[in-house]
Amino acid sequence: MKLTVLTAATLTLTLALPAGTGSNPPANPYRLADRLEQAVTGEQALRHLTAWQRAADTHGGNRASGTPGFAQSADYLVRTLRQAGYRVTRQAVPYQEHQVDIERAVRLDRDVPGPRVLLMRWSPTTPAAGIEAPVVLTPTIQDGLPDPTPGCEAADYAGLPVHGAIVVAPQTSCGFVAQQRVAVALGARAMLFYVRTVRPDNIYRAYLFDPAAISIPLANVSQRDAERLAADSAARTVRLRLELRAHTAEVVTENILAETEGGRPDRVVMAGAHLDSTTETPGINDNAAAAGALLETALQLAPRQRQIRNKVRFAWWGAEELIEVGSIHYLRQLTPEQRANITLYLNYELIASPNFGRFIVDGDDSDHPGTGSGPGPLGSGAVEAVLTGYYASRGLGYETADINSIGSDHWPFRDAGIPIGGLDGGTYQAKSPEQAARYGGLAGEMFDPCYHQPCDTVASINRAEFDRNCRAVAWVVGRFAVAVGDVVAQRNRIG
């Protein structure tokens, strides 16, 4: 999952289980869902996470797209699905990658290590010899008060020697492009950004959506290293040699798809999760946990795959961390008729966060009127009702989240007009006291302190929450495998 921010305007709801199940429903439309809920456990699914942890451990500590760790993860997935009787598609996904050659910062003013730097994806790079320049810290206090948007205006740097400097700034709401534009106008040569979190040693590599708007090299550092630079700058001029180089490469990843033999081909229920990690982590909560829950659901559904009413198609995406590369490619390859046959898409992310929350996609935008990004395609509200209904009926708290606050593979399906839904367990935001009362856990701590960090391993996940969400994934897939009438009715504005 890429860096996103869950909105603060979330709302807890209590809903009954949805009643709409389409025409001629079986006597118990939830029988399959109930059976899958009992069969798909966290203990069973943990073996898949262990296999993917081993893939990372064997290949440099990550499972990023285009790496041997990802290839081993995909091979395990395909082998396991085929052994269960599925016909598996390995869809090649070509794309351009921004591959880092060197990312290094050296202190020139004193004999201490420089900060660890991560070059932003698609940032301009430094000359081969690097950049040698003094450091200027963006002020975070103005007139004795915290500045909510440091570095967003030229006045923020009043009296500071920005010309020719490397500027260190916190990530803020006006965005990298605006902050960079201000610094460039004042003569800055490069910028280092950090995220202010309750885990100041964490470092997050950012992605630039509009590289053409950036004219100087940008990289990320940790809050801790930014604070050290600030402390040293108070006593002396701090100088860095910054080396940031990368190249563009034509590479190929893959999507893994498996679907049931039975079920109506014009009523396809899709459920997906990305298989790749970032280059900095094994990626077990993000996102092997969700990938493993879907795999175990597929395995338990396999003996019944010819008897279900609606075709179920499972998808494990490549290169989600590079901004939905795999899912975008998949949808682009479909004909209009094939896209129309997809009744709904379910997406799952970070379902075993250590200090978890439960953020369900607000499909109809009913909980964020006037503040959210608007509703999903027609039918998304009915998908949301099934997910919220499940958690409410089990006495499990949840919140709904604006569609744009959870960045993942449901976005391309939304853009294609397909009803969407999904669950996210939370990333680097701090849990509020109200959320701690709802879920348990620690207020003031991140939902996942290991998000995009090397510590995102099997050892760090919340196994009890993983079990709960594995069962939820299985139940929801089983429910839609039998009944999608409520989604279809809402999609067609009938009923």
pLDDT in tens, 218-228: 999 999 999 99
Query: Exposed/middle/buried for 36, CB within 10 Å: 0-12, 13-18, 19+?
Result: buried
Give me the pLDDT at residue 21, please: 33
Mean pLDDT of the chain: 93
Among 121-125, 281-285, 367-371, the range scoring the smallest mean pLDDT is 367-371
- Residue 23 above 50 pLDDT? no
pLDDT at 366: 81
Q: How does pLDDT run across 203-255, given as a tens digit for each residue?
A: 999 999 999 999 999 999 999 999 999 999 999 999 999 999 999 999 999 99
Q: Which tokens belong to 338?
A: 């094939």
Pair of tokens at residue 97: 């990658």
* 91-136 confidence digits (pLDDT tens): 999 999 999 999 999 999 999 999 999 999 999 999 999 999 999 9
Share of the chain above pLDDT 90, in %: 88
Strand partners, 359: 399, 424
**pLDDT value of position 15:** 30
pLDDT at residue 367, as a whole number: 82
The percent of residues above 70 in pLDDT, for the chain, comes to 94
- Is pLDDT at 337 greater than 80 in this prediction? yes
Q: Is the pLDDT of residue 149 over 90?
A: yes
**Average pLDDT over every residue of 156-165:** 97
Q: What is the DSSP string of 182-237?
A: HHHHTT--EEEEE---S-TT-----B-S-GGG--S-EEE--HHHHHHHHHHHTTS-
Mean pLDDT of 434-455: 98
Whether 63 contacts 274, CB under 8 Å: no
Instruction: Give yes or no for residue 7 having a pLDDT over 90.
Output: no
Contacts of 462 (CB under 8 A, 6+ apart): 352, 353, 354, 355, 356
Would residue 434 show up in a list of annotated catalytic residues for this protein? no
Q: What is the pLDDT of residue 26?
A: 47
pLDDT at 185: 98
Q: Is the pLDDT of residue 2 over 60?
A: no
**CA-CA distances (angstroms) from residue 179 to 170, 182, 213, 413?**
10, 5, 11, 32
Would you tell me how many other CB atoms lie within 10 Å of the CB of residue 265? 10
Q: Is the pTM of this model over 0.85?
A: yes
Q: Quick: pLDDT tens for 83-95.
A: 999 999 999 999 9
pLDDT of residue 349: 97
Per-residue pLDDT at 436 exceeds 90: yes
Give the DSSP per-residue string, 409-451. THHHHHHTT--EEEEE---SSBPPHHHHHHH-S-TTSBS-TTT
The DSSP element (H or E) to which 102 belongs, if any, is strand 88-107
**CA distances to 98, 170, 213 from 237, in Å:** 33, 20, 30
From CA 167, how far away is CA 350, in angstroms rounded?
Answer: 33
Residue in 37, 280, 320, 465 annotated catalytic: 320
The predicted pLDDT at position 17 comes to 31
Average pLDDT (440-468) is 98
Confidence (pLDDT) at 495: 38
Number of H helices, E strands in the chain: 13, 15
Q: Does 470 have pLDDT greater than 80? A: yes
Residue 309, pLDDT score: 96
CA-closest candidate to residue 15, choices 360, 381, 346, 385: 385
Q: What are the structural domains, with CATH classification, of the chain?
A: 31-86+260-491 (3.40.630.10), 98-249 (3.50.30.30)
In degrees, to the nearest 5, what angle opens at C-alpha 374 toward C-alphas 370 and 376?
155
| Interatomic CA distance for residues 98 and 228, integer angstroms | 29
3-state helix, strand, coil in the chain (%, to 5): 35, 25, 45
| Residues forming a β-bridge with 86 | none
Residue 428 has pLDDT above 80, yes or no: yes
Counting Cβ atoms within 10 Å, is residue 8 exposed (0-12), middle (13-18) or buried (19+)? exposed
